[in-house]
């Protein structure tokens, strides 16, 4: 099924998209940055840097960290981290709903349907008769 993914560019070099959202969700689920990094097939260092990016964007800690331990310490989302994530998902859902018909038409076009069969995109051609 065709799916819409969004990236939000808040400022130059401050983007929040599917990768960071997924990382927060996995940290929330596993309670560990390391476990989340492994699940996403990335290094602990890369996950840690992404968390730094996220916190720079949010302007506050996104995680509460418990340092030490064999697994590199535990982590859970702060209230603000969770609120941010939920809002991102909310925006994604609303955007997806808003363009559902267009996504369907694009999917049909990808499957070989001629573009003219779709009536849900604005017409480009100018009318000759007014």
Give the binding site for its own copies (CB under 8 A).
Answer: 2-11, 14-15, 17-18, 57-59, 80, 83-84, 86-88, 90-91, 94-99, 102-103, 105-107, 109-112, 115, 121-122, 124
Measured in degrees and rounded to the nearest 5, phi and psi for residue 127 equal -75, 135
At residue 66, the 3 state secondary structure works out as strand
Nearer to its own copies, 68 or 122 (CB): 122
At residue 55, the 3 state secondary structure works out as helix
What residues does 76 pair with on adjacent strands? 64
Measured in degrees and rounded to the nearest 5, phi and psi for residue 91 equal -65, -40
Nearer to its own copies, 49 or 121 (CB): 121
Least separation in angstroms between residue 75's CB and its own copies is 21
Least separation in angstroms between residue 125's CB and its own copies is 12
Nearer to its own copies, 35 or 62 (CB): 62
Least separation in angstroms between residue 93's CB and its own copies is 9
Name the burial class of residue 108, with classes exposed (0-12), middle (13-18) and buried (19+) by CB atoms within 10 angstroms of its CB. middle
- Please, what's the b/e burial string for 67-80 (b: 16 or more CB within 10 A of its CB; e: otherwise)? eeeeebebbebbee
Nearer to its own copies, 72 or 80 (CB): 80
Least separation in angstroms between residue 97's CB and its own copies is 8
């Amino acid at each position: 099924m065709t799916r819409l993914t969004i990236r939000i560019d808040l400022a130059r070099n401050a983007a929040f998209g599917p990768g960071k959202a997924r990382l927060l969700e996995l940290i929330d689920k596993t309670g560990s940055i390391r476990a989340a990094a492994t699940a996403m097939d990335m290094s602990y260092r890369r996950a840690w840097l992404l968390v730094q990016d996220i916190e720079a964007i949010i302007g506050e800690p996104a995680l509460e960290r418990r340092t030490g331990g064999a697994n590199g310490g535990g982590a859970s989302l702060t209230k603000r981290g969770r609120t941010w994530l939920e809002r991102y998902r909310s925006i994604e859902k609303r955007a997806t709903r808003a363009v559902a018909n267009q996504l369907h038409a694009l999917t049909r076009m990808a499957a070989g349907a001629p573009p003219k069969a779709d009536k849900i995109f604005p017409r480009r051609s100018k009318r000759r008769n007014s």
